Structure 1
Amino acid sequence: MPHPLRRRRLCFQLGFFALFLLAPSLNLLRFDLHETQLWFLGQRWSLGIDAFRAGEISANQAAIQIFVRAFLPAIVLVVGFLAVAWRYGRLYCGWLCPHFTLVETLNTVLHRACGKLSLWDKHRTLRAGVKPSARWWPVFFSLCAVFGFLWAITLLTYLLPPAEIWGGLLAGTLTPNQARFLIAASVIFTLEFAFARHLFCRFGCAVGLFQSMVWMANPKGMVVAFDRDHARDCRTCTTATYPQGSACDNGCPMRLHPRNIKRMMFSCVQCGQCLDSCEETRTAQSGKPLLEWKVGADAVRETLRQRKAERDAAAVLERKD
């Protein structure tokens, strides 16, 4: 992945992360439980039900407003979101999702503490210039706690007035229910960030799962294609960042193996880090990258080729048996 594209992805991630945190305070998007009122782009988003009850509009006008202001936006949003997922997979996860931004951040900090990107990794992932140090453990768990609390209070401000929540927090006047929610949610999110952030992204996030299922159903959806004709070159795959080899595997923040077939890449977030690692390796070897994105008819050919290679491998194993 070219450096400009990598920087662009980082800008998208940081921008959407800031939007996620600030949207309730700016009334860009939140639902006020006190008023039973949706706020959108700084405006009260009304379905016209109150106006109908007050006799200001007819039943037909109310029905039209409900369709235009509720059903139509929901349909457009869902169809548009799934259309992107149909063609590009978990693009939202890899390029926008605030949770995944934290996953990558915590991966980096944890790696400095123990040399692993997940507490459940069996082996260390060596990186040039990074020597694991125990002094990073307090930083890692502190960040998990800070992000856990930040997630809890941000989600609460999507449901209650941000001024009330932040003001109550600073003044110590939160209601018992608000305090209970913040404590419980903070603990849950802290544990998730520390021990299960990859598992949540891969198997627990409904948004991600729907994207993956839609993408898997489309044979023309974008895939990471592997040039198996030059697979032997992977034996010498090392980079300055990943001196132990398997640069694409070690670079994947979702702990996947990018050279695998599509159905084994169900949780791929299309972040492009595997492509970037492969390009770095092959550039140093004066060769062409062995990984690249394929979409459309090229993706279909890649999928068919993968299936053929899988059948051939199975046939070889049967003959050996």
Structure 2
Amino acid sequence: MRQDKRFLTRLGFFALFVLAPPLDIFRIDLTLGHAILFGQPWTLGLGPFVAGEASALEAAWNLVWRFFLPVFGGAAVFLLIAWRWGRLYCGWLCPHFSVVESINRLMERTIGKPSLWERKPLPARHADGNPRRTNRRLWPLTALAVVGFSLVWAVVLLTYLLPPATVYGNLAALDPSRNQAIFIGVATTLFTIEFAAARHLFCRYGCAVGLFQSLVWMANKRAMVVGFDRSRAAECASCNAACDNACPMRLKPRTIKRHMLACTQCAQCLTACETVQANNPAGSLLQWVDGDCALDVSDHDFGRKPEVPADCFTRIDKTAEGPRIVVQE
């Protein structure tokens, strides 16, 4: 299933996020004054030039391949992926978004809403028809999760800047240095406020990584996007907006692309629609579409009604494994 695969990719990347510094996969050691990459020191290579042992040309070349090429080359690949497929990093890898979804679920179990700012609770039943049960006695567990995730984030970020053995060793001995204690205390407090009250709001409006992906994605009208089969809109009448309720970013998946700027391609809405329409031979009303088929979402705006292929939904294999174009006989 799609969501099972997404769980594994997010779990794996969260583990990489936590373990990269202690395994010396990547970190920036402020005590050494340079980065560590796969166990090896990664510097700008300017030492020989400063010591008068290398020419200016050699120093410039070191800057190009040690800084500009990896930084700008990596950014170009990252944004190219966003241009074609949207915020896949956010929905399928980002460790912050993993926390957002985890706390959303705990909030739902506790108060029937994924966020403190929701005006009304979610429907009494899930997309599969099972009753939605809430229990306010779960508040301590929810609060513990918020503070726990915040502490983990604060400590992990510190290990990207200081030797992990020192950080974890001091914490194990309950004897962090003054600066370490201040960093962890302040960061934990800020993350606690954010995770408790502004999780998806930060993803929508405050995350520069997510914003740049969204802007690049919006520039490509033929990029992959959640499409809605308008010809079968009447079949949505009985589902109680299951796709809207499933979206962790609190978006409305059946609207135009401009209103889905912050979509993370998590496919929760697709899964909800597939669940509701499980007994419908025509399948889900929501699908990932791209190319000319995406124009109905991205260019259907300000009075424009673009011409799109008539078989955008009939030529998509309706399985839970994701978008796969099949050849028509």
User: Would the TM-score normalized by the shorter structure come out above 0.5?
Assistant: yes
- Of the three residues 10, 15, 22, the one matched with 2:12 is 15
Give yes or no for the alignment of 1:258 onto 2:253. Answer: yes
Q: How far did residue 310 of structure 1 move?
A: 8.1
Q: How far did residue 305 of structure 1 move?
A: 4.1
Return the alpha-carbon distance in structure 1 between the equivalents of residues 75 and 184 of structure 2.
Answer: 30
SS in 2 for 1:30: strand
Partner of 2:160: 158
Return the alpha-carbon distance in structure 1 between the equivalents of residues 243 and 231 of structure 2.
Answer: 17
Give yes or no for the alignment of 1:48 onto 2:45. Answer: yes
Q: How far did residue 69 of structure 1 move?
A: 1.0
Amino acid of the residue matched to residue 95 of structure 1?
Answer: W
Give yes or no for the alignment of 1:283 onto 2:285. Answer: no
Partner of 2:62: 65
Amino acid of the residue matched to residue 197 of structure 2?
Answer: F
Q: How far did residue 302 of structure 1 move?
A: 4.0
Please give the root-mean-square deviation of Cα atoms over the aligned residues, in Å: 1.7
Q: Is the 8 A contact 2:256 2:301 kept in 1?
A: yes
SS in 2 for 1:209: helix
- Of the three residues 61, 81, 85, the one matched with 2:82 is 85
Q: How far did residue 60 of structure 1 move?
A: 1.8
Q: How far did residue 6 of structure 1 move?
A: 2.2
TM-score by length of 2: 0.87
Task: Map Cα deviations across residues 31-52 of structure 1 (whole Å, 9 max, x no partner).
Answer: 1111111111111012211122
Q: How far did residue 228 of structure 1 move?
A: 1.4
Amino acid of the residue matched to residue 288 of structure 1?
Answer: G
Q: How far did residue 298 of structure 1 move?
A: 1.8
Partner of 1:241: none
Return the alpha-carbon distance in structure 2 between the equivalents of residues 181 and 310 of structure 1.
Answer: 53
SS in 2 for 1:159: coil
Higher helix share: 1
TM-score by length of 1: 0.89
Alignment of 1:215-294 (within 5 A): 215-237=217-239, 245-294=240-289
Q: Which runs of 5+ in 1 are unaligned?
A: 238-244, 312-321
Alignment of 1:178-189 (within 5 A): 178-189=180-191
SS in 1 for 2:237: helix
Return the alpha-carbon distance in structure 1 between the equivalents of residues 275 and 10 of structure 2.
Answer: 23
Task: Map Cα deviations across residues 57-84 of structure 1 (whole Å, 9 max, x no partner).
Answer: 3322222111111111111111001111
Task: Map Cα deviations across residues 80-109 of structure 1 (whole Å, 9 max, x no partner).
Answer: 011111111111100000010111111111
Aligned length: 301
Give yes or no for the alignment of 1:122 onto 2:119. Answer: yes
Task: Map Cα deviations across residues 276-305 of structure 1 (whole Å, 9 max, x no partner).
Answer: 111122222333211111112221244334
Aligned-residue identity in percent: 48
Return the alpha-carbon distance in structure 2 between the equivalents of residues 14 and 142 of structure 1.
Answer: 20
Partner of 2:28: 31
Change (3 A) 1:210 1:184: same
SS in 2 for 1:236: coil
Return the alpha-carbon distance in structure 2 between the equivalents of residues 111 and 310 of structure 1.
Answer: 38
SS in 1 for 2:190: helix
Change (3 A) 1:251 1:310: farther
Q: Is the 8 A contact 2:170 2:176 kept in 1?
A: yes
- Of the three residues 184, 190, 193, the one matched with 1:191 is 193
Deviates more, 1:30-39 or 1:46-55: 46-55
Return the alpha-carbon distance in structure 1 between the equivalents of residues 25 and 59 of structure 2.
Answer: 24
Q: How far did residue 232 of structure 1 move?
A: 1.2
Amino acid of the residue matched to residue 196 of structure 1?
Answer: A
Change (3 A) 1:298 1:285: closer
Task: Map Cα deviations across residues 119-154 of structure 1 (whole Å, 9 max, x no partner).
Answer: 111111133244111221000000000111111011
SS in 2 for 1:180: helix
Return the alpha-carbon distance in structure 1 between the equivalents of residues 273 and 301 of structure 2.
Answer: 19
Partner of 2:294: 299
SS in 2 for 1:135: helix
Change (3 A) 1:210 1:304: closer
SS in 2 for 1:264: helix
Partner of 1:317: none
Q: How far did residue 217 of structure 1 move?
A: 1.3
Return the alpha-carbon distance in structure 2 between the equivalents of residues 266 and 235 of structure 1.
Answer: 25
Q: How far did residue 56 of structure 1 move?
A: 3.9
